[in-house]
Chains A and B, each alone.
Chain A
Amino acid sequence: MSRLDEIPVRIMPAESAAGQGQALLHELAHMLDVLLREGRSGMIDLRALPLAAADFARLRAVLGEGEVHARIDAMGEASIVETGIPGIWWHTYRSHDGDIITEMLETTWCPDILNSQPEDVTSGLQRLREQLTGDAAPSIPAKEEQHA
């Protein structure tokens, strides 16, 4: 016997006895209702809950995947997917090594992290201006090329 799956002990039950997935789906329905009526966003930190694999499977099966798939490359990859239920977004943030560091469900019109951040826009604008100033000068190397 050399492989783990050959050991005849099933460590976890195939189905979660806790049924947390179902409870979360009810909570999400309530949060979506709040978003529609009051415009208030909400978030559930999936890592803070004692979820079994079966709970995740249930959530994924019911929510499915929708029209928007966004990928962020920032200190490790992050995927932000609108689920098949519009307004519910599944965030998965990974470290440089690819390990999941946070997993959340958000009810919102559009996740804020997808917006450009003012600080980044400011430094981007600065880089663009430097580029433009740099572009204005290269007429000199062009002349040198003519001499060559």
Chain B
Amino acid sequence: MRETLDQSLRRQGVSRRAFLKYCTALASLMALPPGMAPAIAAALGKAMRPSVIWLSFQECTGCTESLTRSNAPTLEDLIFNSISLDYHETLQAASGTAAEAAREQAMKAFYGKYLLIVDGSVATGLQGAYSTVAGVTNLDELKKVAAGAAAVVAVGSCSSFGGLPMAHPNPTGAVAVSDIITDKPVINVPGCPPIPVVITGVLAHFLTYGTLPETDLHRRPKMFYGETIHDRCYRRPFYDQGKFAHTFDDEGARNGWCLYELGCKGPITYNSCATLKWNEGTSFPIESGHGCLGCSEPKFWDKGSFYQPLSGGTWTDSGTLLAAAAAGVAVGAGAAVLSRARQHHAQEEK
């Protein structure tokens, strides 16, 4: 029988106060009020460390790289104290048949209970032969491992939406995990890569409550993808005032004005970069002077130039923005209307 997290921490000499501090960080991650920390500590302390199997398909390992750079809480804290990572090709020490045997063993012992995490899209062309591990296609492997999973977490835009492998002309017939697995709860954590604390935040929610968090139309957790980058962007006042940078080295750029006209996709991109930020909370692309690429939205690779303003591009799924003049406050109003229209549309579709 696996020990509870409380037992595991006590055995390691971790104080309750340290655990409370950790839970305060978790509350922050899950966008819960910090006052929830004691309740989280109580729930998490009693939780059995769940078995986690991580499969990597058509991917670049950027998602794992992102996670292993996570600082809040540290990967060690999260993975080694809170979950039992029984299979991860990049991180595990075992290799070859020993690694495959470990996965089979975990699947057998925790059938119906383990959490399956997938990064990378699934090749379906030539019956999946474009991508195989140990002679087994990703497609077959996914079906087999998902059959015994309690839930599936698709980490990154490739597993969530198909990502780069699915970009035109999609030579491998790449699809998202949710296109294949339709009989299990699947949650998408998109981003290229996703923000590390968003990955750990979703895992923390599963650990604390034993369920996946509430999701939006694209199966993304609302707590991290509930608002657009634009909604929380610190350059937003300039957007509202109609002050835009027109080139990367003009006066507007030097003054930190809005990057909308340089192609920023913030108004229609749902993610937490503007608040959680990157690199230990240092900054996010817009803070570094570059517009948002919209990497957490479906098919972002195929939506035209990253440097074309939304008002003139193929990102818009409504005529609203196209009608707005591409300058000044008029654009501000137009893009805001589009953003609201999308949210409204998404809610109606639900």
Contacts and interface: CB of A to CB of B under 8 A. Distances in A.
Interface of A: 9-13, 16-18, 41-43, 45, 47-52, 72, 74-76, 78, 91, 93, 95-97, 99-102, 104, 106, 112-113, 116-120, 123
A116 B18 CA distance: 11
10 contacts: A52-B234, A74-B18, A75-B18, A76-B21, A99-B280, A100-B281, A101-B71, A104-B24, A120-B15, A123-B10
B254 A10 contact: yes
Contacts, number: 110
B73 A95 contact: yes
A113 B17 contact: yes
A17 B234 contact: yes
Given A43-B33, A48-B275, A95-B72, 12 more contacts: A9-B249, A9-B289, A48-B28, A50-B275, A74-B18, A93-B21, A100-B281, A112-B38, A116-B17, A117-B15, A119-B16, A120-B15
Interface in B6-43: 10, 14-18, 20-22, 24-25, 27-28, 31, 33-35, 38
Contact of A102 (B24, B74, B253, B255): B24
B12 to A, nearest CB: 10
Interface of B: 10, 14-18, 20-22, 24-25, 27-28, 31, 33-35, 38, 71-74, 77, 232-238, 249, 253-256, 274-276, 280-281, 287-289
Nearest to A10: B254
A42 B290 CA distance: 36
A102 B25 contact: yes
B22 to A, nearest CB: 6
A11 B249 CA distance: 10
Nearest to B274: A50
Contact of A45 (B20, B33, B232, B255): B33
A97 B280 CA distance: 11
A116 B16 CA distance: 9
- Among A12, A52, A116, A120, the one with the most B-chain Cβ atoms within 10 Å of its Cβ is A12
- Among A9, A75, A95, the one with the most B-chain Cβ atoms within 10 Å of its Cβ is A75
Contacts of A101: 25, 28, 71-73
A9 B256 contact: no
A47 B32 CA distance: 12
B275 A49 contact: yes
B201 to A, nearest CB: 12
